[in-house]
C-alpha cells in the first residue's frame, strides 16, 4: 500500500468549498462534481487493531476487511472513545462527551432513568434524512428503551430499523443478541428463534437498500460482533456450548464479521450500488481486556475502557471505487465527532446554525480534494460504569473527566483536575506502548508539541456536561437515587 502521500486528482481549489463551516455544513460543489454518494457505515463492537490482519494482526486472517483496505484508505490515526456509550453518542451527535454529557457508559434498557433524547440532541440520521437520504439502522443501539420509546429510532431520523434492544431489565429473552436474538422493528420486539442476529441485520439492510435504490441512502450497521458473550457462529457451529475456548470463539466472531462484510459488498455489486457507495468500516473501542493478540510482532492486550492506543485507536477503513483513492495508508487525524459533519458534507446537508459541533469534515480528504485533513489534534475520553443517579438525573462521576489529546506524533494525558494538570506525554512514533514519559523533557521539539496540546486542553470547558434529557415517568427498573446532585462529584 502507498504510505501517506498521494497525488491530488481533483483541483485543490475545491478545498474552499468543501471546508466544514461551523455552524453550517454545505458541500455544494462536491455534490455538483459527482452524484451524492450512498453511505454504508459499519461499526464493529469491542475490536482492536490486533485482530485485523490489514493492520498487522498475526493471530487471525480477515481477508475481506483487508481487501476493503486495499481498495481504499486505511487510516492509522482515528480515535474512538474508550467504551460503547461515549463512542456511539459522539458519532451520532458530532459532539465530544464533555459537551453531549454521555461521558460514562450507560445501559438505558437495563438501568433506566435517562435516554438519548431526540429533542435535546442532533442525530446524523436526521441530518441525512433532511438532505433527502433514505436512512436505516440495524444492530446495537442501547441508548433508548424501546418498551417505552418504541418509535425512538424514527424520532432520531431513521426511516426503518432492526435493532437488538439491549438487555431490558426483567425481560430475559432480551439478553440474546446472537442466536435466537431479541430484535425491535416497526412491528415490535420479539425473539427470532433459530436465527443469528448479524444475519438478520445484514439482510434487513440489504433489503432496505434494494427498496431505496432510486434515491441516495445512508445505512448504519452497528454490529454486535464480536462483543461478549463469546459464542459459536454459523460458519463454525462446532464451537457451540463448552466446545472451544473463549479465544477460539472470539476469533470465529471476528471471522464472521469479515464474512458479513463480504456478503454485503457482493450484494451491493449485484444491485449495481457499489460504485457510488462509500463504505466505512470501523469499531467503537478496543478489545475486551481478557484477550491478547499479536500486532506487528508485539503482544497487545485488549484496551477497552482505557485511553491508551489499544483502547481508542480504532481500525478505520474508507472505500468507494472511483470516489476514494485506493491502496492508501494514511496518518490523517480523525476522531468520532468528525463522522456527522463528514456525512453532512458528502450529502450536501445543512446542520442547524444554532447547533454546537465539535467535529470537522474529512470529506475533502477522502474525495482526494486535499492532501490531508483539517485537524492538528484529536481527543478521546470517557467510559467506565461510574455514573450515578441524583434527584436531578444521571450524573457523571467527575466534574472534569481525564482525557487524551494527540497530534500525529505526541500524545498528552490530561488529568481529571481543575486547574488542569498533566499525567504524561508520550511519543507514539517511537514508543507505541506509551511507557516513556516525556512530560519534563527539555527537547525543544517536545516542549513545543506539549505546549500546543496543552493549548487545546485549555480551550475546552472547565466542567463537563451531564446527559441532557427530558424527565419521563418513573419505571420499576430505574436505578435509584444514590447521590446529591453535583455535591458527590470528584
pLDDT of amino acid 35:
85
pLDDT of amino acid 18:
30
Look up cell 430499523; give the residue: 161
Q: What tens-digit pLDDT sequence spans the chain (490 residues)? A: 444 333 333 322 233 333 322 333 344 444 444 589 999 999 999 999 999 999 999 999 999 999 999 999 999 999 999 999 999 999 999 999 999 999 999 999 999 999 999 999 999 999 999 999 999 999 999 999 999 999 999 999 999 999 999 999 999 999 999 999 999 999 999 999 999 999 999 999 999 999 999 999 999 999 999 999 999 999 999 999 999 999 999 999 999 999 999 999 999 999 999 999 999 999 999 999 999 999 999 999 999 999 999 999 999 999 999 999 999 999 999 999 999 999 999 999 999 989 999 999 999 999 999 999 999 999 999 999 999 999 999 999 999 999 999 999 999 999 999 999 999 999 999 999 999 999 999 999 999 999 999 999 999 999 999 999 999 999 999 999 999 999 999 9
Cell of 92: 451520532
As beta bridge partners, residue 397 has: none
As beta bridge partners, residue 196 has: 179
Q: How far apart are CA 291 and CA 484, in angstroms?
A: 38
Pick from 46, 279, 336, 88: nearest CA to 177: 46
Phi, psi of 325, rounded to the nearest 5 degrees: -55, 155
The 10 Å CB-count burial string (b at 16+, else e) for 403-424 is: bbbbbbebbbbbebeeeeebeb
Q: What is the sign of the dihedral through the CA atoms of 380, 46, 342 and 89?
A: negative
Cell of 117: 433524547
Phi, psi of 44, rounded to the nearest 5 degrees: -80, 165
- Torsion, CA 340, CA 341, CA 344, CA 345, rounded to 10: -150
Q: How far apart are CA 449 and CA 430, in angstroms?
A: 15
Residues 6+ apart with CB under 8 A from 413: 307, 402, 404, 422, 423, 424, 425, 426
Burial of 174 (0-12, 13-18, 19+ CB in 10 A): buried
| Domains in the chain: ranges and CATH | 2-380 (3.40.720.10), 381-458 (3.30.1120)
pLDDT of amino acid 34:
54
134-140 and 217-222: which strand pairing?
parallel
pTM: 0.93
Cell of 142: 442501547
Supply the angle between the helices 339-347 and 84-93 in degrees, to the nearest 10.
30
Amino acid at each position: 500500500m502507498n504510505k501517506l502521500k498521494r497525488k491530488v486528482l481533483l483541483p485543490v481549489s475545491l478545498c474552499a468549498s468543501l471546508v466544514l463551516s461551523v455552524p453550517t455544513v454545505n458541500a455544494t460543489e462536491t455534490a455538483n462534481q459527482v452524484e451524492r454518494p450512498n453511505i454504508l457505515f459499519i461499526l464493529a463492537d469491542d475490536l482492536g487493531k490486533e485482530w485485523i490482519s490489514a493492520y498487522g494482526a498475526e493471530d487471525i486472517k480477515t481477508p475481506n476487511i483487508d481487501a476493503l483496505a486495499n481498495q481504499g484508505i486505511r487510516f492509522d490515526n482515528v480515535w474512538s472513545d474508550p467504551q460503547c456509550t461515549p463512542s456511539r453518542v459522539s458519532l451520532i451527535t458530532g459532539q465530544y462527551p464533555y459537551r453531549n454529557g454521555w461521558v460514562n457508559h450507560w445501559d438505558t434498557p437495563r438501568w433506566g432513568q435517562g435516554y438519548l433524547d431526540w429533542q435535546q440532541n442532533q442525530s446524523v440520521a436526521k441530518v441525512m434524512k433532511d438532505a433527502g437520504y433514505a436512512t436505516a439502522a440495524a444492530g446495537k443501539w442501547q441508548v433508548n428503551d424501546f418498551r417505552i420509546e418504541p418509535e425512538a429510532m424514527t424520532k432520531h431520523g431513521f426511516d426503518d430499523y432492526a435493532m437488538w434492544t439491549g438487555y431490558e431489565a426483567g425481560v430475559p429473552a432480551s439478553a440474546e443478541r446472537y442466536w435466537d436474538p431479541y430484535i425491535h422493528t416497526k412491528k415490535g420486539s420479539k425473539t427470532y428463534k433459530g436465527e443469528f442476529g448479524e444475519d438478520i441485520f445484514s439482510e434487513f439492510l440489504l433489503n432496505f437498500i434494494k427498496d431505496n435504490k432510486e434515491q441516495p441512502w445512508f445505512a448504519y450497521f452497528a454490529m454486535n460482533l464480536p462483543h461478549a458473550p463469546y459464542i459459536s457462529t454459523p460458519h463454525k457451529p462446532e464451537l457451540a456450548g463448552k466446545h472451544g475456548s473463549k479465544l477460539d470463539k472470539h476469533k470465529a466472531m471476528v471471522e464472521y464479521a469479515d464474512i458479513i462484510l463480504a456478503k454485503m459488498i457482493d450484494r451491493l455489486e449485484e444491485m449495481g450500488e457499489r460504485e457510488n457507495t462509500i463504505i466505512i468500516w470501523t469499531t467503537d473501542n478496543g478489545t475486551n481486556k481478557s484477550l491478547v493478540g499479536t500486532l506487528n510482532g508485539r503482544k497487545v492486550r485488549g484496551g477497552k475502557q482505557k485511553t491508551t492506543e489499544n483502547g481508542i485507536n480504532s481500525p478505520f477503513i474508507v472505500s468507494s471505487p472511483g470516489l476514494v483513492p485506493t491502496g492508501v495508508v494514511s496518518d490523517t487525524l480523525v476522531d468520532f465527532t468528525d463522522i456527522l459533519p463528514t456525512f453532512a458534507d458528502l450529502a450536501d446537508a445543512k446542520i442547524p446554525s444554532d447547533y454546537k459541533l465539535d467535529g470537522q469534515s474529512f470529506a475533502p480528504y477522502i474525495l482526494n480534494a486535499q492532501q490531508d485533513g483539517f485537524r492538528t489534534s484529536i481527543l478521546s475520553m470517557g467510559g467506565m460504569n461510574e455514573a450515578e443517579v441524583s434527584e436531578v438525573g444521571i450524573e457523571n462521576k467527575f466534574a472534569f473527566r481525564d482525557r487524551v489529546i494527540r497530534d500525529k506524533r505526541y500524545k498528552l494525558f490530561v488529568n481529571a483536575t481543575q486547574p488542569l494538570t498533566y499525567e504524561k506525554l508520550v511519543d507514539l512514533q517511537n514508543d507505541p506502548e506509551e511507557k516513556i514519559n516525556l512530560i519534563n523533557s527539555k527537547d525543544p521539539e517536545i516542549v513545543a508539541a506539549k505546549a500546543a496540546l496543552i493549548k487545546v486542553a485549555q480551550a475546552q470547558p472547565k466542567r463537563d456536561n451531564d446527559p441532557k434529557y427530558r424527565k419521563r415517568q418513573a419505571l420499576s427498573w430505574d436505578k435509584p437515587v444514590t447521590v446529591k446532585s453535583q455535591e458527590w462529584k470528584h
